[in-house]
Amino acid sequence: MKLFIFLLLASFGFSLTLEEAIRIAVRNNIDVLKSGIDLRKLDQRIREVRSKVFPRVSFSARFTKWDPNYISAFFPENKYFLTLNLTQTVFDRTLWTALKVAKRSGELQRVVLEEVKVRVASEVEKVFWAVLLRREVLREKRESLRYWEDYFRLVEEKYRAGIVPRYEFLRARAELRQAKAELIRAESEYRTAVNTLKVLLGITEDVEPEGEFRKADLNLEDPYTLLERNPTLRVLEKTLEVRESEVEVRRAEYYPKLSFFFNYNFENIIDFENGRLEEDTRQGYNFGFRFDFLIFDGFGRRARVIQSRLETLKVKEDIDFLRKKLRNDLDSLLSRLRSAEEEIGARRDTLLASEESLRFATERYREGVGTQVELLEARRSYERAKLSYLESVYAYNVIAADIKAILGMYLLAEDGPRIGP
């Protein structure tokens, strides 16, 4: 039912929140889909390895037509042979350790899938904030156009009344046209941002992001203790478990193997009956045990064990290096976050000051005591301050998304994402 509603909304275009965008992207993203397929593949690999624990039953039949001039009287002209075979592994340490490797590989792929989901969630959040930023810029450009339209009408009235010179009229008209051009560019940038979001979501329908463009909430009490939840680190830790299991597989080659077999055969033969050769059938069974133990293979097993141990050592070095790198990266991100937060406060104050300056300059010009240069400079300062403030909020949110990704703070559930520690 939920899928039906989603498809119905998608056919007409729909609005969505940040969490809804992340949920849709995680469902549709190509990397997530491919990782999911790899996980299903590994599940079948586990079943394949587990199948070797069960008995293997096979049936074979063979029929041979012989030239009567070629065979002897003791061999049937039409020879057939049927056999039913059963083989059961009794003891094979390599099999059990291989099953452990397959299971741990499945766990590894699940962690890889979660890493991909976290990366996608972080990318979607940053693009989502970019769309909201472009929407705010678009609103500001529309407001700017209305301002310059009002200003142009005011200057035009004064020009026709002979109060202001022609160059002021021409300059006002130029500012109005510039505002129209900037509005068109802002609309194009907003549309581009929305299309980028749609690519991440894996959809073609029109969307309208919901939500207020504001500083993202980020509660961090002791972020360094959360580094162990880093998705990449968890992937390496699972990789280490797989490598250790592979060492066990190589070591298992030192153990003997024991298996049980049973055969039931049915064939036609030529035999003496009542003093003459006649065709008859023979059937019967045989069973037994097979014991294999490799005593010496030229130190090949030892070399394979050492190679697997070295692969394990490489992963351990990667984990140690990544832990140090993550701590340094987190320290840099937290430092940038504090700087971005201070930047937001400073640019907010600048915006308030420029807004008041613009109001004062507009009133002075309207009353005829201010100059056009003063007004234009005040308006430009206000627009620069407003755009700078918006950019500072966006920069803060991007850093916050990177921090949430590095700390594994995107907890994705079946009913949707929950963003937070």
- Count of structural domains within the chain: 1
pLDDT at 13: 57
The whole-chain average pLDDT of the chain stands at 86
Cα separations in angstroms, 419 against 20, 133, 252, 409: 11, 20, 45, 6
Q: Is-contact 24 3, C-beta < 8 A?
A: no
In the predicted structure, residue 12 carries a pLDDT above the cut 50: no
C-beta atoms surrounding 392 within 10 Å: 21
Distance of CA 360 to the CA centre of its chain: 52
pLDDT at 333: 94
pLDDT at 195: 94
Q: From 187, 140, 138, 134, select the one nearest 379 (Cα to Cα).
A: 140
- The answer to which of 53-57, 176-180, 216-220 has the lowest mean pLDDT is 216-220
In the predicted structure, residue 417 carries a pLDDT above the cut 90: no
Which two three-digit tokens encode residue 267?
A: 């064939």
Q: What is the rounded average pLDDT of the residues 35-46?
A: 85
How many angstroms separate the CA atoms of 213 and 395, rounded?
12
How many angstroms separate the CA atoms of 406 and 232, rounded?
8
pLDDT at 415: 39
Beta-sheet pairing, 416-419 with 276-292: unpaired
How many angstroms separate the CA atoms of 179 and 183, rounded?
6
Going by pLDDT thresholds of 50, 70 and 90, the confidence category of residue 272 is low
pLDDT at 73: 65
67, part of any domain:
yes
Going by pLDDT thresholds of 50, 70 and 90, the confidence category of residue 376 is confident
CATH code of the domain containing 275? 1.20.1600.10
Q: What is the rounded average pLDDT of the residues 164-175?
A: 88
Q: What percent of the chain has pLDDT over 90?
A: 43
Cα separations in angstroms, 406 against 119, 213, 326, 328, 331: 9, 23, 8, 11, 11
Which two three-digit tokens encode residue 214?
A: 């504001």
How many angstroms separate the CA atoms of 197 and 207, rounded?
9
Long-range contacts of 9-17 (CB under 8 A, 24+ apart): 10/203, 10/205, 11/205, 12/205, 13/205, 13/206, 13/207, 13/208, 14/205, 14/206, 14/207, 14/208, 15/207, 15/208, 15/209, 15/210, 16/207, 16/208, 16/209, 16/210, 17/209, 17/210, 17/211
What are the residues facing 91 on neighbouring strands? Answer: 258
pLDDT at 411: 57
Q: What is the rounded average pLDDT of the residues 378-407?
A: 93
DSSP 288-349: EEEEE----STTHHHHHHHHHHHHHHHHHHHHHHHHHHHHHHHHHHHHHHHHHHHHHHHHHH
In the predicted structure, residue 8 carries a pLDDT above the cut 80: no
Q: Is-contact 223 403, C-beta < 8 A?
A: yes
95, part of any domain:
yes
Distance of CA 312 to the CA centre of its chain: 26
In the predicted structure, residue 311 carries a pLDDT above the cut 50: yes
pLDDT at 9: 43
Q: What is the rounded average pLDDT of the residues 328-336?
A: 94
Q: What percent of the chain has pLDDT over 70?
A: 92
Residues contacting residue 357 through CB under 8 Å, at least 6 positions apart: 378, 381, 382
- The answer to which of 288-292, 295-299, 380-384, 395-399 has the lowest mean pLDDT is 295-299
Q: What is the rounded average pLDDT of the residues 396-400?
A: 94
361, part of any domain:
yes
Going by pLDDT thresholds of 50, 70 and 90, the confidence category of residue 232 is very high
How many angstroms separate the CA atoms of 36 and 44, rounded?
13
Q: Which domain holds residue 161?
A: 13-419
1, part of any domain:
no
Going by pLDDT thresholds of 50, 70 and 90, the confidence category of residue 182 is very high
Going by pLDDT thresholds of 50, 70 and 90, the confidence category of residue 188 is very high
pLDDT at 79: 86
- The answer to which of 209-218, 231-240, 266-275 has the lowest mean pLDDT is 266-275
5, part of any domain:
no
pLDDT at 358: 86
175, part of any domain:
yes
In the predicted structure, residue 317 carries a pLDDT above the cut 60: yes
4, part of any domain:
no
Burial of 83 (0-12, 13-18, 19+ CB in 10 A): middle
Beta-sheet pairing, 410-413 with 416-419: antiparallel
In the predicted structure, residue 2 carries a pLDDT above the cut 60: no
79, part of any domain:
yes
In the predicted structure, residue 69 carries a pLDDT above the cut 90: no
In the predicted structure, residue 70 carries a pLDDT above the cut 80: no
More confident residue, 1 or 168: 168
Q: Measure the CA angle with vertex 120, ends 417 and 105; round to 5°.
A: 90
Residues contacting residue 286 through CB under 8 Å, at least 6 positions apart: 262, 263, 265
